[in-house]
Structure 1
Amino acid sequence: MPIALLALAIGAFGIGTTEFVMMGVLPQAATDFGVDIPTAGHLISGYALGVVVGAPLLTAAAVRLPRKTMLLAMMALFTVGNTLFALAPNQEFGVVFRFVAGLPHGAFFGAGAVVASGLVDKSNRAKAVSMMFLGLTLANVVGVPLGTLLGQQVGWRATFAVVAVIGLVAMAAIARLVPHQGRPADPSLRGELGAFKRPQVWLALAIVTFGLGGVFACLSYIAPMLTDVAGYSPSQVTLLLSLAGVGMTIGNLLGGRLADKALMPSLYVALLSLAAVLGIFTVTAQGKVSAAITIFFVGVAGFMIGPMLQARIMEKAGGTPSLVSAAVQSAFNIANSIGAYLGGLVIAGGLGLVAPNWIGALLAVFGLSLAAVSGGLDRKAAKRPVLVEA
């Protein structure tokens, strides 16, 4: 694999760390800002809103830029946002700066996925994209636990200062290792928006939203499941989340390789496996060992889907993949919101702490049905006669 993928992975590592470490240092930030935990939770939703807004808008605004320039600009904005957040004087400014830090998230991954796939031949494109996303999954294994520990021992501001430094390292690596990309072949916003006229693009985004929504229905409430149901102590949850992160890393790499061999069959298997594992987790959550094993496989099954859908949507976007590739990150964060919301509803309804796993399984099955529709459209198109001009 090209060394340039390392630069993209470093950027992804920084983004993954800043997105998820906020959950680990939320109590420290709440105390520092003098607010309660629910109010401090706006620091998480502020970032997510930045991702949803920034992915399409920044990609559209920079559609004429060379993609290497786009990557450098997004990492610069990422670094500025995290630096400002580390210096935030109060909760209100903190939410604004978290929003700023989230703006480049989707645009970076959108441009990065296009760059990664362009560095290799067609048979290795999904694998190359998965190598970039390896940084995101490793953030859950290394970045988030260490960032949480740093925040607990030194202060949450130190955590985000380190994240800003990672942003600077990523910028240096991109400048040094990523080759000049030139301007996109069709540097027009109209051309990029034209990809959204294709039903297959919307189906792929819907599969992201609902299929991965199943993962977040489970993971959003994994801490109380592990403590109140499986019987782990709060201090052990961090290690178990790292175990889930290892599963995510393996699933991401496996998903990229399978997608290059047989994309749609692999996607069917991944969604079916996710539904099955989440269903099984409703039972295995009752025991410590079985819960730990299952949470690992939730990570594997859930994150196999990511590189498959990234490859799928770039394939269906044709020659204008940047905007729809960035839109995947918006769909990812919408999946996060939907999964967390529905999981919270069933808990509030008195169905128990493991009930979000059933919701997750149902969402994965719905994602599988959408994938089946998408595959059916492929088969229908393949049977359509091709008209050849005389």
Structure 2
Amino acid sequence: MPLAVYLLGLAVFTQGTSEFMLSGLLPDIAADLDVTIPAAGWLTSAFAIGMVVGAPVMAVAGLRWSRRRCLTSFLIVFIAVHVIGALTTSYAVLLATRIVAALSSAGFWATALATATAMVAPAARGRATSIVVSGVTVACVAGVPAGAVLGQYWGWRSAFWAVALVSLPALVAVARSIPDDRPDPGASARGELRALRNRRLLITLSLAALVQGATFCAFTYLAPLLTGVTGLATGWVPALLALFGIGSFLGVTISGRLADRRQHAVLATGMVALLIGWSVFALAAAEPVTAVVLVLVQGVLAFGTGSALIARVFTVATEAPTLAGGLATAAFNVGSTIGPWFGGLAIGAGAGFRSPLWVSAALMALALTVAAVTVAATRRGPGRQQGGHCVPTPADTPPH
């Protein structure tokens, strides 16, 4: 595996830390900038929306640039807005920096995924994807808690400075290691956008959004579940959140080694296991030992399956490798946005802190239904044509 792929994962680590670290900094930011907690919460929402919108848009916008130029440009902007965010005393300016940071991060994610898969043989795309995605899992384990500690002792601005500083070596490493390849002269926005007519791609993106929605629905409300239902002391929460992060890192690592050879088996097994796991977790949430075990297991399954779905996007969108990265990134962030929203609605309706786990199970049931209906439709009409090409489903196309 080329060293450059690991360096892309390092850069994604800093961006994952930036995306999720505000959860532990919002009270301090609200007090310092004299805004309400809900207003401070918009800083997180703005980043998520920027990632969803920015990923495909920035990917297409950079088609005429070399990948090294795209990656370094996005990183420079990302570092600059974190410096501005650390210095500003204006809520409006800080909100603007979060939007710009999300756009640059989305562009980097999309280009990094496309670059990593292009630097390896087709049989190693799943592993390359898992290495890049692992940057997010390491951010959950180490980056986000570290940001919370920095905010506790030196104020929320120190976390912004830390992200900027850690991004500097990533910028140097990317500039030195990524080939300055010229863009494909035949690449065009119109050509890549034709990929949106690919039914297999749209189905895969839908499944990715549903799986990630289930993951982040449960993860977002894990702390109140563990303290309010499982009965664990609050001191256990950071350790169990880290345990989920460790599970997610194991998941992408294992998935990366299996998905290239057994892509469909990994996806089918993972999705069924997630449905069972979230359901069992909801039923047994009051049992401390079971809850702790399932925190680890569900972390493995959730990110392992999610990573395999991202790899699958590149398998079915070979005609649009750059846009594929953007769409995969957008699907990931659609899930991370809708999942917590649905979970919050369930809690707000009085269903209790177990309810997000049931919502996660429902999202997985929907994902499996979409997959099953697609397979059934294909078996009824095996020779269907779309755009002049036979379009098999994710289940009946052999992995590359």
> Shorter-chain TM-score: what band?
over 0.9
Shift of 1:383: 6.4
Shift of 1:306: 2.3
Shift of 1:377: 7.0
More off after superposition, 136-145 vs 342-351: 342-351
Secondary structure of 2:187 counterpart: coil
What does residue 143 of structure 2 align with?
143
Shift of 1:372: 3.5
State the one-letter code of the partner of 1:49. Answer: I
What does residue 27 of structure 1 align with?
27
Counterparts of 1:373 and 1:324 in 2: how far apart (Å)?
A: 24
Unaligned runs of 5+ in 1: none
Alignment of 1:349-364 (within 5 A): 349-364=349-364
Runs of 4+ displaced beyond 6 Å: 377-387
Work out the number of aligned pairs and report it.
387
Counterparts of 2:70 and 2:163 in 1: how far apart (Å)?
A: 20
Counterparts of 1:152 and 1:186 in 2: how far apart (Å)?
A: 51
Counterparts of 1:381 and 1:136 in 2: how far apart (Å)?
A: 40
Counterparts of 1:354 and 1:9 in 2: how far apart (Å)?
A: 34
TM-score computed with the length of structure 1 as normaliser: 0.94
Kept in 1, the 8 Å contact 2:124–2:260? The answer is yes
Distance 1:186 1:316, change over 3 A: farther
State the one-letter code of the partner of 1:290. Answer: T
Counterparts of 1:62 and 1:170 in 2: how far apart (Å)?
A: 20
State the one-letter code of the partner of 2:49. Answer: L
Alignment of 1:168-317 (within 5 A): 168-184=168-184, 186-317=186-317
Alignment of 1:37-76 (within 5 A): 37-76=37-76
* Cα deviations by residue, 1:49-99 (Å, 9 ceiling, x for unpaired): 211221122112111111121111111121122222112212222211111
State the one-letter code of the partner of 2:117. Answer: S
State the one-letter code of the partner of 2:161. Answer: A
Kept in 2, the 8 Å contact 1:10–1:166? The answer is no
Counterparts of 2:76 and 2:378 in 1: how far apart (Å)?
A: 40
Counterparts of 2:333 and 2:318 in 1: how far apart (Å)?
A: 24
Shift of 1:122: 1.5
User: CA RMSD for the aligned pairs?
Assistant: 2.1
Alignment of 1:95-106 (within 5 A): 95-106=95-106
Distance 1:348 1:136, change over 3 A: same
Shift of 1:236: 2.6
Distance 1:384 1:61, change over 3 A: closer
State the one-letter code of the partner of 2:159. Answer: T
Secondary structure of 1:260 counterpart: coil
What does residue 333 of structure 2 align with?
333
Please say if 1:131 is aligned against 2:157. no
Distance 1:256 1:173, change over 3 A: same
* Cα deviations by residue, 1:123-145 (Å, 9 ceiling, x for unpaired): 11110111111111111111111
Kept in 1, the 8 Å contact 2:114–2:324? The answer is no
More off after superposition, 87-96 vs 155-164: 87-96
Counterparts of 1:76 and 1:14 in 2: how far apart (Å)?
A: 13
What does residue 319 of structure 1 align with?
319
What does residue 87 of structure 1 align with?
87
Distance 1:32 1:321, change over 3 A: same
Distance 1:46 1:148, change over 3 A: same
Secondary structure of 2:190 counterpart: helix
Counterparts of 1:320 and 1:376 in 2: how far apart (Å)?
A: 27
Counterparts of 2:212 and 2:83 in 1: how far apart (Å)?
A: 30
Distance 1:119 1:382, change over 3 A: farther
State the one-letter code of the partner of 2:37. Answer: I
More off after superposition, 193-202 vs 31-40: 31-40
Unaligned runs of 5+ in 2: 390-400
What does residue 392 of structure 2 align with?
none
What does residue 395 of structure 2 align with?
none
* Cα deviations by residue, 1:211-252 (Å, 9 ceiling, x for unpaired): 221112211211111111122233331111111000110111
* Cα deviations by residue, 1:251-283 (Å, 9 ceiling, x for unpaired): 111122221011122111111111111111113
Counterparts of 1:117 and 1:332 in 2: how far apart (Å)?
A: 17
Secondary structure of 1:41 counterpart: helix
State the one-letter code of the partner of 1:47. Answer: F
* Cα deviations by residue, 1:167-219 (Å, 9 ceiling, x for unpaired): 22111010112223321363211111111111111111111111221112211
Kept in 2, the 8 Å contact 1:211–1:366? The answer is no
Secondary structure of 2:184 counterpart: coil
Shift of 1:20: 0.8
Distance 1:259 1:373, change over 3 A: farther
Kept in 1, the 8 Å contact 2:57–2:326? The answer is no
